[in-house]
């Protein structure tokens, strides 16, 4: 539950900061107790970032701050002043999807799609650090992102396929993951 705010005594209450969001310089004013999640969604209109608990437990709200995954529900908006924030809206280049977005769509790794933005950003950082991650490395990296629809399997497969393609290898999904086993 949020703390009761001190009632204004005529002074302006909002904080006003400048930061980089998805490569653009933005200025935003918001009540200073707001989380980064709330600032992104409510004050910057970037509703691609989701929330499942607002307690740092589900991973839905993961965004990148200076290239590192951060749970935006646990960070204050004020804390990112002057920093670079990347949200799911910043993954595609124009109309061209990021390879992860492409494989997530292709392999059905997004069922309801609600956990997807947080998982995409977390996976993006993984591939940047470990270009061809093993299945175990993927599991470890995504252990803080819950998904209730997929059982994670299509997510692993999509990360592996994207990693292969980004490494310039021929990336074809396994037949079994699409049609089941013979």
Partner 1 sequence: MAGSNGAKRRGLKVIGKPFHKVDAKVKVTGELKFADDLMLPRMLHTRLLRSTVPHARIVKIDTSKAEAYPGVKAVLLGKDLPTTYGALPVSEDEHALAIDRVRMVGDPVAAIAAVDEDVATEALDLIEVEYELLQTITSIQDAYAITEPRIHEYGELGNIHRRQVYEFGNVEAGFADADFVREDITFYEGSTHLALEQHASLAQFSHDGKLTLWTSTQDMHYLHRHLAKVLGLPGSHIRVIATPNGGGFGGKCDPFNHEIVVSKLAMITGRPVKICLTREEVFYAHRGRHPVLMSTKTGFKKDGSITAMHHRTILDGGAYGGHGVASTFYTGILQTTTHNVPHYKFEAVRVFTNKAPCGPKRGHGTPQPRWAQEIQLDRIAEQVGLDPAEMRKQHAIPPNSITANWIRIGTLALGECIDKVVKGSGWKEKFRKLPYGKGVGIACSAYMTGTQTPIYYNKMPHSGVQLKLDRSGGVCVYCGSVEIGQGSDSILAYIVAEVLGIHPFDIRVVTGDTDLTPVDLGSYSSRVTLMTGNAAIQAAERAREILRQAVSEKLDVPGSRLSFADRRVFDTENPEKGMSFVEAVWLAEEKFGTLGTTGSYKPPAAPGKYKGSTIGPSPAFTCTASVAEVEVNPETGIVTVPRVWIAHDIGQAINPLLVVGQIEGCVYMGLGEALMEEMTYRGNRNMVHKFPSFLEYKSPTTLEMCDVVTYLVESQDPNGPFGAKEAGQGPQLPVPPAIANAVYDAVGVRIDEIPITPDKVMKALRAKAKGKEGRYGPTVFPTCEMPEAIVVKTPFEGGDGKAVEREPALSRK
**Residues at the interface with partner 1 (CB under 8 A):** 1-2, 4-5, 7, 31, 41-42, 46-55, 57-58, 60, 87-89, 91-92, 97, 100-102, 104-108, 110-117, 120, 138-140, 142-154, 156, 175-182
Q: Which is nearer to partner 1, 75 or 126 (CB)?
A: 126
Q: Which is nearer to partner 1, 48 or 69 (CB)?
A: 48
- We find the least distance from the C-beta atom of residue 95 to partner 1, in angstroms, to be 10
- We find the least distance from the C-beta atom of residue 94 to partner 1, in angstroms, to be 12
- We find the least distance from the C-beta atom of residue 175 to partner 1, in angstroms, to be 8
- We find the least distance from the C-beta atom of residue 105 to partner 1, in angstroms, to be 4
- We find the least distance from the C-beta atom of residue 17 to partner 1, in angstroms, to be 19
What sign does the dihedral 57-58-61-63 (CA atoms) show? positive
Q: Which is nearer to partner 1, 7 or 68 (CB)?
A: 7
The two tokens of residue 13 are 């209450």
- We find the least distance from the C-beta atom of residue 19 to partner 1, in angstroms, to be 19
- Let me know: does 112 contact 155? Beta carbons within 8 Å: no
CA 83 to chain centre: 16
Q: Which is nearer to partner 1, 42 or 84 (CB)?
A: 42
Rounded (10°) CA dihedral 66, 69, 72, 74: -110
Q: Which is nearer to partner 1, 27 or 96 (CB)?
A: 96
Q: Which is nearer to partner 1, 19 or 119 (CB)?
A: 119
The two tokens of residue 49 are 């970032």
The two tokens of residue 165 are 């393609």
Percent of the chain that is helix, strand, coil (3-state, to 5) = 35, 15, 50
Closest CA to 103 of 91, 114, 86, 94: 91
Strand-pair partners of 85: 21, 65
The two tokens of residue 71 are 């749970």
């Amino acid at each position: 539950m949020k703390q009761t705010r001190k009632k204004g005594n005529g002074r302006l209450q909002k904080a006003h900061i400048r930061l980089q969001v998805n490569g653009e310089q933005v200025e935003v004013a918001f009540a200073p107790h707001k989380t980064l999640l709330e600032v992104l969604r409510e004050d910057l209109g970037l509703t691609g970032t989701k929330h499942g608990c607002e307690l740092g437990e589900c991973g839905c709200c993961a965004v990148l701050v200076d290239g590192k995954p951060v749970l935006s529900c646990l960070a204050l908006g004020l804390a990112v002043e002057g920093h670079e924030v990347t949200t799911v809206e910043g993954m595609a280049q124009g109309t061209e999807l990021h390879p992860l977005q492409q494989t997530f769509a292709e392999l059905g790794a997004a069922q309801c799609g609600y956990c997807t933005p947080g998982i995409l950003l977390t996976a993006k950082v993984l591939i940047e650090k470990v270009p061809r991650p093993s299945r175990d490395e993927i599991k470890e990296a995504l252990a803080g992102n819950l998904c209730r629809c997929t059982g994670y399997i299509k997510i692993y497969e999509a990360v592996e396929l994207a990693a292969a393609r980004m490494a310039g290898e021929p990336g074809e999904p396994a037949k079994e993951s699409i049609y089941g086993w013979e």
